[in-house]
Amino acid sequence: MTTRSAPRPALHAVRPIAPATLAALRERDDAGRPCVPYEDPEGGAPLRCCLRRSRRGEWIALVSYAPLRRWAAEAGVDPGAYDEQGPVFIHAEDCGGPAGDEGHPFARPGVLRTVRRYDAGGRILGGRALFLDEEADAALEAGLAEAFADPRAALVHVRATEFGCFLFEVRRP
């Protein structure tokens, strides 16, 4: 039997999807489609609004989200061809965001994560696949520290390697 150590505080600020963006996505997603809420029959969907897994019976929605496009608009830059959109799960209604700091969201032993770096102009600097071992939080924190060791890195996206979807954003501390 393996045991997990208690999560240690993250050195980098993990960011859920911003409340104003969530409100817009609940009306129409970044692909222009209306939001279609449904009752989650099983639970376990990675929610990008509160950075936790859904619970059975919660009302959620799967929407298309363009995280780099949203960041680039805020930063006043054009991400060019690096602008992409993909599916994310969110609560169907405002949930109040993350409950607190319990380590990195969606970090559990035995999964692969991709850590992708972007510069201040919204261009990809590179990425790295990370295997999260028994010390999942520490492994992810080390990957983020490595990403931000590049002084050009302004932003990092953490993605689920198996599906390629966006999990959360981390900005330079």
Query: For residue 76, what are the contacts with CB-CB under 8 A and spacing of at least 6?
Result: none
What is the distance between the alpha carbons of residues 166 and 86, in angstroms, rounded to a whole number?
Answer: 7
pLDDT at 5: 40
Q: What is the pLDDT of residue 118?
A: 96
10-residue mean pLDDT series, the chain (173 residues): 42 87 98 98 96 97 97 94 95 92 84 95 95 93 95 95 91 79
Residue 91 has a CB neighbour count (10 Å cut-off) of 22
Global pTM reads: 0.89
What residues pair up with 129 in beta bridges, in sequence order? 114
How many other CB atoms are found less than 10 A from the CB of residue 66? Answer: 19
Give the pLDDT of residue 99. 84
